[in-house]
Structure 1
Amino acid sequence: MENENQQAIAMDNQPLEAETTHSMDDIMPHLMGSLIESANDAIVSKTLGGIITSWNKGAERIFGYTEAEIVGKSILTLIPPERHYEELEIISKIGAGQRIEHYETVRRKKDGTLITVSLTISPIRGADGQIMGASKIARDVTELRRAEQELHASQERYRTLFNSIDEGFCIIQMIFDENDKVVDWRFLEVNPAFEKHNGLVDAVGKTARELLPNLEEYWFETYGKVALTGTATRFAAGSEAMNRWFDVYAFRVGASEERKVAVLFNNITQRKRGEAERENLLKALEVERAKLAYLFNKAPAFVATLRGPEHVFELTNPSYLQLIGHRQVVGKTVRESLPEIEGQGFFELLDKVFRTGEPFNGREVSVQLQREPDGPLEERFVDFVYQPTFEADEAVGGIFVHGVDITEQVQARREAETANRMKDEFLATISHELRTPLNAILGWSRMLGDSRLGETERAQAIEAIQRNAHLQTQLIEDLLDVSRIITGKLRLEARPTDLSAVVEAAVESVLPAAQAKDIRLQRVLDSGTNLVSGDPNRLQQVVWNLLSNAIKFTPKGGRVQVRLERVNSHIEIIVTDSGQGISPQVLPYVFDRFRQADSAMTRQHGGLGLGLAIVRHLVELHGGTVEAESAGEGQGATFTVRLPLIAVRSAEVSSERGEEREHPTGGQGVPFDCAPELEGLHVLVVDDEEEGRTIVTLVLEKCGAKVTAVNNAADALRILQEQRPDVLISDLGMPGEDGYSLIKKVRALPAEQGGQTPAAALTAYARVEDRMRVLRAGFQIHLPKPVEPAELIAVVANLNGRHNIS
């Protein structure tokens, strides 16, 4: 091309020879001219003096000058002044006949813009072979060089990044078998951080299996998929072969058929270990938190946390809610949650602790709480601490409340103090009560030795000695009775007893005392049969104590009444007086030992305060109850004793029932009658002894009751749930499962399954402690063997009247 151009230029500068005989000679000049004009490169010819002699269209496009503007001008027009020296060097070489190729330099366009050109310069010879000028082909390589520079800069940036990034980086070429299954890869490039992250040395040119024979298949499958699909992937994975964890970003590079993958990765082993440690710490923390929550919720101490100056509840444990009564407090202020403690000083204490940051310790502090909605205020005693809690800036942020409800301990201590005081008072009373009659006895006995004592005085002395000796005997008997009660040695000699006679005898014994105070003593006795099974002496002691108390506390000219009346299957002894009455504060304790309404040294009435305690115990030993009522001081009092009744069979009753029945009799041969309440009553009898079951069944069936008898507790429980009997009579000592276990299971049942069935324990265990255990276990009555048929009938009838035993 260049030779052709040079020849064309040479032809331009020499006269053409006309050759008309050869057609090619005619065509060639025109062809060469067309080629020059259509060339993209600038084709310029110049003299050795540097004057431009020809200028094609390509030169016009590159430099901006038209042919008319530039031909005849110096070539230096196109050369920046600082490069004029180049023209001298070029002319020198051309003059020497040298050809200059790919001479890259800078030239100036018409608008002054500098461009980079690549020059090819050839000498132009004349017909004589002498060099007469130069042909120059100029190619604009400005954009090419700019692109090359940018590429170089990009490569430099890439190389700098490649070498300086902290992440490991490599380019690998995946190796597949004939089925396009990846089998390995080869490392093509790695950056300096590569080795630091994975520990592989001199990896370039080596395969993965060569460096890591035990590398997991996961890595091959993952990178192979990227190479095949071109889909980049980001993942974190661990390698046992390298004993490391990596965060990886993999993407395909180059053409798909090259199967190249770039891998950018970080060694995150430490991070993973840190995460594992953190996870373990979190689990341990959760375990500790669970332990703390368990302790928080199960702690017997009450705990609450309060936030901010308004003291908003954040947390409370069950013990705290048990103290204040179960209410919703979390998220509410103390004032909003516990309005009833306003004025008790607690709000002021909380404010002070929050303001000063100083804790407060309270010991045996009384607080009035409304523990039930719309309920009364209850006094509780607490030991507690208000402990401030602090924020990061050491400012008080809240209050930690911790304490113990010591109400029971305080009450127990006060009761113990009261009991101790009562003991002291009782000992003082004993001393007083024993010394008073002893003083009279000793005084009068000494008087009897005085010969000057007349007969009247001597008779008065003897009467006083006897009276005071009797009084002292009674005091000692009361003390002995209390001792027997406490030790369980008080015994009854039970037999069918007519209460009418008992009451009459008791009235006769207290009549002189009533007459001495001008008290009207009235008897109202039921004319019917009033038989009970009991000890007549002890029953007389009960009535005597009640009448003596009534007379003692009734002022002169007052009234005392004793009534005896039958009510259903039991009999009531009611003693009423018009005396000083009993205050509401004392009434609940009148049957307690050593309790007296007036225990001061200036008390108006003597006695040890044991009489009513003995009355209650004796009544309960007889299977009965005693209660006291009074409208208040100055309103008198009423004492009511209820005892199970033994009904005596009479011809009238037999006639009404229309039949004659044979009944077993007790040891005294006393007949019995049937209570009407037994007719149709369903009774479940449990006793492992056949004779015992037979006797009870016979007595009850003779009185019209329906009886189901079994010999073990398991059958009894089943029948009780299936048939729902009205009354349960059970022995205690049975093989396998005893009566205590049976009643425990019965009482655990819902009411609709018989859980509240009235029950009596029929047993040969007859001690006082046995009776107390029976009642505590859930039975209503303790019935010692042997039992009188009439007593059994009365007990069953009485039990049937107790519809609600809860």
Structure 2
Amino acid sequence: METDQSSTSPSILLQDADGPGLPATEAGQLFRTIDWNTTPLGPQDAWPQSLRIALGVCLNSRFPMFVWWGPSLVNLYNDAYIPVLGKRHPTAFGRPARETWADIWDVVGPQAEQVMLEGRPTWNQDVLLVMERNGYPEDTYFTWSYSPIYDDDGSIGGLFCACQEETARVVAERERDRLIRQAQDAMQTLKTWFDQAPGFVALLKGPDFVFDMVNDAYLQLVGHRGIEGRPAFEALPDLRNQGYEELLQRVYVSGEPFIGRGLRLQVQESPGDDLRERYVDLIYQPVRNTDGAVTGIFAQGHDVTEQVLAVNALKEADQRKDEFLATLAHELRNPLAPIRQAVAVAKSPAADEARTAWALAVIDRQVSHMAVLLEDLLDVSRISRGRLHLRMQGVVLAEVVQAALEAVQPMIDAKGHHLAIALPEQPVRLVADPVRLAQVLSNLLSNAAKYTDAGGRITLEAHAGEGCLTLRVQDTGIGLSIDSQDEIFEMFSQVASALHRSEGGLGIGLALTKGIVELHGGSLRVHSEGLGHGSVFTVSLPLPAAEAVEAVEGGAGAAHPQPTTPADTPAPTQAPAASDGVEGAESAAEGTLVLVADDNADALDSLAALLELNGHRVVKARDGREALEIARRVRPRVAILDIGMPDLSGFEVARQIRASAWGATMPLVALTGWGQPEDARAALDAGFTHHLTKPVAPAVLGSLVRAVTAN
């Protein structure tokens, strides 16, 4: 007996991947990967012809469609339907529909039941469905129909749906209709609403976008110019070439609304003025006549400049925080390096009494330096929490200045700066915390010394009069750009041109200084003519009446002790048996000749001593230029270079060594406190062979030197 092949063979629409029917789409691929034998649908060979045909139409269509089949309404859909599902895809493919659409089953479930039980198709137009397809509830609008699919035995086996999401159109049309009705029903009400709207509003008519109505907020945004009755870009020529003309044209021609967030706008306050930068949230809504033709555009929005700037400021603050943490790590690694190296020297069996004493002095100095860094951090925290308490007493300005000079004079002398001080002839008496006020002046003077090249000029001037003391610290240093002058007192802020100078810093010194001045009731400001033109920091402090000073002095009690300053710490001692420059290199012990360069004397001397104890000959350089000159003269076997050195950075030294014939293959080791991945990449790009982060274990460094010199 002959068998009807049409009911037992797979439809051509559902052939394998090489067949013409099953499309090479995402849904088609899902279809191929599912083992249908394990699903309620069972093996494909047993599927009814009607199901195969429906699926073939669905999967090959570019219109959103799906098929629900069987008692559990197994969900099968095409690629065009995937955006409707959102995050439910691809889990929804081949799963029961009720499981997928539980949140809207109260709407679609009864309709599906009607089709499956009674065979009556449905029709739904612009129906609201509140669904969570993207992880949050949202109002969506859909037009769809359910049609029955009959099984081979004539019973209803499933349903077929073609659907269209109408959310954008419905929302736009409803907003449009609301505005048109409002304009038709109550023009005066609309005008009142225009004038009192919290945001800016304008109604533009015709293809030239003539201003028909504008409110006060819009006039304020564009500078209170007379714009009503004039084409938009004739009235506001400064808005041309910013993209707004093209946006209006697109909305007018397409009839589709436009919504923009945080759009940048440059506008004049009045004709001829400089452009000012603003940011706006904006809606362009097409306005239609009774025939549905677009006749104008309704523009509505808000000036969100403050919000955008606040968000940008948070991003910048977060970036400064990250930079600060990297800098803090650098500043702590720098003293840790000589500490670790000095410990290794002191523990060496070859270290004599003098070398051990020197190593302990290095450790003491570097620990004191770390203590100062940590105390600055604590002071900033105390100020931010309102916990920094001043010990106010009557003080004489000259004594405060002298205390500040004791702290910074070694740094000023080391860099060969000329310091000029001009104080009033008569003693200036004020009420202040002498320790903290000295800290303010020492911070400003040390800042000037750091960021002024050797041999610069620094001036400290004081003027008293009309109840105010003015202190000015002026330098001939690197100066500040306009933007830097606005930001330099913020936490974690460092000037870009100063970040890689050898002196380093945490970027909190000026924030701390400003906080202390303001706790005294004063102010701190800065002025610079620009990069390379030096800076002037001005402190203004209130001067109390003489009677007030005497009253404070009478009850002041014991004076507050002065803080430990660099002047209180022992002067650096010379590391024993270390070779400076090329002198002494030939008399050193036989071994590999190593060039070591670092502007930190303790780090340089301790590393040199450590290498010499390991049998190497060492030559030392205290800046980049000296390192390059020594390398040219003595041709070391390996060079270990710090990065942040004055005159020439370690990067530039490496590049110049690599550019020479004699240094093309020389092993170069970057030994630095900058330990981020981008720092290592920068070192390798500059020509370094290795990048080590301070403090490095002596054994690791020794193994590396032996390895690179063994080849």
Give the number of the structure whose alpha-carbon radius of gyration is greater: 1
TM-score (norm 2): 0.49
Structure showing greater relative contact order (alpha-carbon pairs closer than 8 Å, 6 or more residues apart): 2
